[in-house]
């Protein structure tokens, strides 16, 4: 059984965060990042409320 990195199946966040983090825009940047994570249903992985999947997933080959 081969293993593939689980990051190969990672979803996109849907839309990019338009603000680059700088010294004077943390609150705006944070709001955009949180919104993007929630929209992609990924915020639980960042805040620790959801356990991350294994780094490697088994690859199942079916021979017909």
Express each pLDDT in 13-37 by its tens digit: 666 788 899 999 999 999 999 999 9
Look at residue 14 in the predicted model and tell me its pLDDT.
67
Look at residue 17 in the predicted model and tell me its pLDDT.
82
How many distinct structural domains can be found in the chain?
Answer: 1
Tell me whether residue 22 is in a domain. yes
Q: Name the 3-class secondary structure at 50.
A: coil
Q: Is the pLDDT of residue 6 over 60?
A: no
Tell me whether residue 51 is in a domain. yes
Domain span at residue 24 reads 2-7+17-59
**Nearby residues of 63 by Cβ (< 8 Å), 6 or more positions away:** none
Tell me whether residue 64 is in a domain. no
Q: Of 15 and 10, which is predicted with more confidence?
A: 15
Q: How confident is the model at residue 9 (pLDDT cuts 50, 70, 90)?
A: very low
Look at residue 64 in the predicted model and tell me its pLDDT.
64
């Amino acid at each position: 059984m081969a293993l593939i990195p689980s990051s190969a199946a990672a979803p996109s966040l849907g839309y990019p965060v338009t603000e680059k983090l700088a010294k004077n825009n943390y609150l705006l940047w944070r709001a955009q990042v949180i919104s993007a994570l929630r929209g992609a249903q990924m915020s639980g992985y960042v805040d620790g409320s959801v356990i991350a999947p294994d780094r490697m997933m088994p690859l199942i080959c079916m021979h017909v």
